[in-house]
Amino acid sequence: MPSEASRDFPTIRPRRLRRTAALRRLVAETRVHPSDLVLPLFVKEGLTEPQPIASMPGVYQHSVDSARKLAVEALRAGIGGLMPFAIPARRDAVGSGATDPDGILNVATRAIRDEIHDDLVVIPDLCLDEFTDHGHCGVLRDDGTVDNDATLERYAEMGLCLAESGADLLGASGMMDGQIGHVRGALDEAGHTDTGLLAYAAKYASAFYGPFREAVDSQLKGDRRTYQQNPANAVEALREIDLDIAEGADIVMVKPGLPYLDIVADAAERSPVPVAVYHISGEYAQVIAAAERGWIDRDAAILESLTSIKRAGASVIATYAALDAARMLS
């Protein structure tokens, strides 16, 4: 029988399983694996060597050749995939470069595919914003608003080009109504039934996109609040997710990540397809900036961020820290 004194102390002690690093590893409920991670990369037409992006230390605009080398590095690190974005030399009102077989995104997609074959998943961005001289994600009407249905036609043309260039999945990021169904129909009609669609289903009009816009030399004037989601809304996000799944999305994405973990959790609970999260440029940049000032531990903050996203229910995480995280996890 326990003594009278011992009854003043707890007999159930959860701290026993936190005592050593080995014990903590043994009972960890959530694990991030390098193969869960997707690395976004920027390929700029005309570059001969990588150029640093000031607002994202450690991230570069790449030439086609350096993108190929990065793809090999990613493969060796064991990450799951690559997400190419392009910066063309010329832009116009309808984003003609997006549907030019010799345009930078199609060239880069083919080059990466030729380098790594089927050993990494290649997910080029299916959107017009990097290719338009106004920086919006679609075709504009005379009054300056985005014409949803005219934009869908451009997305279908772009999707076919990227499928022919070797994309495994198309990162449908434009947030146009009906984009998944329209592109899926075009792909199937052209015989690209194996090309999948990663739907940016819940993409919010976020304040955290700033560094990305530097990375792609964005020409945006104004904002994208008429097509990206209001950060105040959650039910709307679930409706968007349901619609994209019904239209044929193979994966649905929530973007950004950390400010929207409630949406990630709700999506994971209801979705019959995998849920992805984009840990975006501003989320990455604030960790790096704070670490450079000595305010936080860079590596620990990266792993904690990715673990929280995985814990919320994400199967796939796109992050600029993919290579660093893969090395730490290995």
Tokens 């999707």 belong to which residue?
Answer: 159
Q: Are strands 125-126 and 169-172 parallel, antiparallel or unpaired?
A: parallel
Instruction: Answer yes or no: 44 catalytic.
Output: no
**Active site residue: 44, 69, 221, 255, which one?**
255
Count the Cβ atoms, other than its own, within 10 Å of residue 315.
15
Question: What is the amino acid identity at position 251?
Answer: I
Cβ atoms 306, 314 nearer than 8 A:
no
Say what the alpha-carbon torsion angle 258, 260, 262, 266 is, to the nearest 10 degrees.
-120
The tokens for 58 are 């450690």
Cβ atoms 123, 170 nearer than 8 A:
yes
CB neighbour burial string for 91-101, b if at least 16 within 10 angstroms, e if fewer: beebbbbbbbe
**Active site residue: 69, 203, 221, 310, which one?**
203
Instruction: Answer yes or no: 221 catalytic.
Output: no
- Give the separation between CA 260 and CA 39, rounded to whole angstroms: 20
CA distances from 166 to 62, 127, 132, 139, 159 (A): 19, 17, 23, 25, 11
Residue 6 contacts by C-beta under 8 Å, 6 or more apart in sequence?
A: none
- Give the separation between CA 233 and CA 23, rounded to whole angstroms: 40
- Give the separation between CA 114 and CA 152, rounded to whole angstroms: 29
CA distances from 135 to 93, 139, 149, 268 (A): 9, 10, 18, 32
Cβ atoms 319, 329 nearer than 8 A:
no
Active site residues: 203, 255
